[in-house]
Amino acid sequence: MKGFISLSSKYLFLLLGVIGILQSCSRNPVTGKKELMFMSESQEIALGKESDPSIVASFGLYENPELQAFIADRGNQMAKLSHRPSLPYEFKILDSPVVNAFAVPGGYVYFTRGIMAHFNNEAEFAGVLGHEIGHITAKHSARQQTTQILGQLGLIIGVIASEDFRQYAEVASQGLQLLFLKFSRDHETESDRLGVEYSTKAGYNSMRMAEFFETLHRISAKDGGGSIPTFLSTHPDPLNREQNVKSLSAKWQQGKDVSALKENRDSYLRMIDGLVYGDDPKQGYVENWVFYHPELKFQFPVPRNWKYENSPIQFQMAPADGKALIVLTLGQGNTVDEAANAFVQQYKVQVKDSRRTTVNGYPAMMVISTQAAQEGQQQNPQNTIQLATWFIQYEGLIYVFNGMTYAALFNQYQRTFDETAMNFRKLTEPDKLNRLPERIRVKQVKKTGSLSDALLSCEVPAARHEELAIVNGMKLTDVVQQGSLIKVVSK
Ligand SMILES: [Zn+2]
């Protein structure tokens, strides 16, 4: 049952233990200058090791041994010629459609399948790889990153364990994956420079890296700026970064035989032929404000116009104003009673009411509780969080709908919390159960002409041409030669 829940909260607590960070003074491996470091190398490695299981559990690993082997191989090769060759690097592809790549201190580098689908040659990938390795080798804001990872992965625990509810609910309403790891302008610039240096040393043409900024720029423009990938970051401007990387590349390529630098377009495209593109229905999907999970065979309504976010460990929903939050996750124990008791003990909530019931014939338990203000704070309805938690036993698992808001707003939201949980039911519609993901399909162009013509001859509907132009890193009017490869998507 891969795809929905695979992580206990154990890892999140492990992570919290790692924040005891000492400051020390040491030499920066990239600049060679002495500077204040928040972490020693062994602390960095420990942090990466501790964070990795949570990251993998939150997103899931993309199951494709060939692609995982490819990224590990290229990653390790490049790490060897970086400023910190002896770190225990790990390179992984996460099962997320979001276009993103990020690094965690200690040598952990992650690419999503979404970004792998958008690269059009190995040189673009290598440039981003060098950029991410650069964040690690130059020891960028290790501490700041860590706090942000915790803020994200510890979401549910954070909500219940602190009064910073508003902040978390707002994160949930914006889509938390996008907030992952933001760096300062200077750090992004330095990593761009290292991306050019490392990918050139590894034999790639880093001009292709520069061009990938255009792809990122187009993706964010298409989504109205709503899904700016971390790699792109809001500043400096992506098109400035493109120019900067181009001029750095020109310097690095001086005196080199540019035609001998690797791009590996065809081999890269053939490798990603069949890659899952966009949301994978088997991990659960929303259609007309209903969430369907074909593998676990259940469905329930999503409150209309709420924002939602699906991950392998939880599904969360929040209104745009961020004043409430419903999180679906798995409970502990074998019965609803056990799960409810474990919940009350773990989160130290004060139970106001609880009753046993059924939800569409399945054993269920509903608990209303409050989470008091933190120590030293006056308790009042503005800083007390009130929760309506539903535990439902279905096919050997306990599903927990945790609806929460400020006590002062509880009456306003309780009906939404209840209706969401009470309409949890078995999924039986074959059409919903057998939904297949779209995949990248690599096709050979039959006749020289515009990309638009080529897409039409591959039966791509016109409404998706602009999207596919971005995926191909081209304009629709660009000429594609007979026999060359392009990407289309189909089931
Ligand atoms: Zn970066």
Distance 130 CA to ligand 1 centre (A): 10
Answer for the pair 318, 173: CB distance below 8 angstroms, yes or no.
Answer: yes
The secondary structure element, H or E, covering residue 356 is: strand 350-359
Distance 155 CA to ligand 1 centre (A): 23
pLDDT at residue 185, rounded to an integer = 77
What token pair was written down for 287?
Answer: 């259609």
Interatomic CA distance for residues 445 and 316, integer angstroms:
42
Please give the residue that has the higher pLDDT: either 9 or 45.
45
Percent of the chain scoring above 70 in pLDDT: 79
Mean pLDDT of 30-40: 69
pLDDT tens profile 372-405: 655 555 666 667 888 999 999 999 889 999 998 8
Mean pLDDT of 403-426: 94
Given a cut of 60, whether residue 102 has pLDDT beyond it is yes
Distance 79 CA to ligand 1 centre (A): 16
Interatomic CA distance for residues 365 and 355, integer angstroms:
6
Mean pLDDT of 402-418: 93
Listed in order, strand segments (DSSP E) in 134-207 are: none
Given a cut of 50, whether residue 246 has pLDDT beyond it is yes
Name the CA radius of gyration of the chain, rounded. Answer: 24
Percent of the chain scoring above 90 in pLDDT: 54
236 band by pLDDT with thresholds 50, 70 and 90: low
Distance 412 CA to ligand 1 centre (A): 42
Distance 164 CA to ligand 1 centre (A): 27
Mean pLDDT of the chain: 82
Give how far the C-alpha of residue 435 lies from the chain's centroid of Cα atoms, to the nearest Å: 22
Distance 231 CA to ligand 1 centre (A): 5
Distance 103 CA to ligand 1 centre (A): 8
Distance 54 CA to ligand 1 centre (A): 21
Distance 188 CA to ligand 1 centre (A): 5
Please give the residue that has the higher pLDDT: either 51 or 24.
51
Mean pLDDT of 466-480: 97
pLDDT at residue 33, rounded to an integer = 72
234 band by pLDDT with thresholds 50, 70 and 90: very low
pLDDT at residue 47, rounded to an integer = 78
Please give the residue that has the higher pLDDT: either 236 or 167.
236
CA distances from 266 to 111, 156, 181 (A): 20, 44, 32
346 band by pLDDT with thresholds 50, 70 and 90: confident
Map tokens 């803020």 to a residue: 151
Give how far the C-alpha of residue 304 lies from the chain's centroid of Cα atoms, to the nearest Å: 24
Interatomic CA distance for residues 141 and 102, integer angstroms:
13
Distance 57 CA to ligand 1 centre (A): 22
Distance 182 CA to ligand 1 centre (A): 7
Distance 489 CA to ligand 1 centre (A): 28
Please give the residue that has the higher pLDDT: either 237 or 286.
286
What token pair was written down for 446?
Answer: 């039959």
Average the pLDDT over each of 196-205, 215-224, 300-309, 402-411 and give the range with the smallest value: 215-224
Please give the residue that has the higher pLDDT: either 43 or 205.
205
Interatomic CA distance for residues 363 and 175, integer angstroms:
32
What token pair was written down for 416?
Answer: 């939404």
Interatomic CA distance for residues 135 and 193, integer angstroms:
11
Average the pLDDT over each of 147-156, 424-433, 460-469 and give the range with the smallest value: 147-156
Give the number of C-alpha atoms closer than 13 A to the C-alpha of residue 200, restricted to the C-beta side: 22
253 band by pLDDT with thresholds 50, 70 and 90: very high
Distance 140 CA to ligand 1 centre (A): 9
Distance 144 CA to ligand 1 centre (A): 13
pLDDT at residue 319, rounded to an integer = 85
pLDDT at residue 123, rounded to an integer = 98
Mean pLDDT of 344-368: 93
pLDDT at residue 430, rounded to an integer = 96
The SS3 call for residue 467 is helix
Mean pLDDT of 200-227: 82
Distance 22 CA to ligand 1 centre (A): 24
Mean pLDDT of 190-208: 96
The secondary structure element, H or E, covering residue 487 is: strand 485-490
pLDDT at residue 161, rounded to an integer = 35
Q: How many residues does the chain have?
A: 491
Mean pLDDT of 26-31: 75
The DSSP string of 75-137 is HHHHHHTSS-TTS--EEEEES--S--EEEETTTEEEEEHHHHHH--SHHHHHHHHHHHHHHHH
Query: Which letter, b or e, does each residue of 442-454 get, where b requires 16 or more Cβ atoms within 10 Å of its Cβ?
Result: bbebeeeeebbbb
User: If we measure between CA atoms, which residue out of 118, 116, 5 comes closest to residue 59?
Assistant: 5
The secondary structure element, H or E, covering residue 196 is: helix 185-201
Distance 212 CA to ligand 1 centre (A): 13
Interatomic CA distance for residues 255 and 352, integer angstroms:
75
Asked, as a colleague might, if the bond just before 381 is cis with ω within 30 of 0, I would say no
Distance 43 CA to ligand 1 centre (A): 21
Distance 87 CA to ligand 1 centre (A): 19
Other CB atoms within a 10 A radius of the CB of residue 17 amount to 9
Distance 183 CA to ligand 1 centre (A): 6
Distance 396 CA to ligand 1 centre (A): 43
Distance 150 CA to ligand 1 centre (A): 18
Distance 230 CA to ligand 1 centre (A): 7
Distance 446 CA to ligand 1 centre (A): 39
pLDDT at residue 104, rounded to an integer = 83
pLDDT at residue 427, rounded to an integer = 96
Distance 280 CA to ligand 1 centre (A): 26
Mean pLDDT of 440-455: 97
Mean pLDDT of 316-343: 88
Distance 278 CA to ligand 1 centre (A): 23
Helix count and strand count (H, E) for the chain:
17, 21
Answer for the pair 70, 119: CB distance below 8 angstroms, yes or no.
Answer: no
Distance 67 CA to ligand 1 centre (A): 22
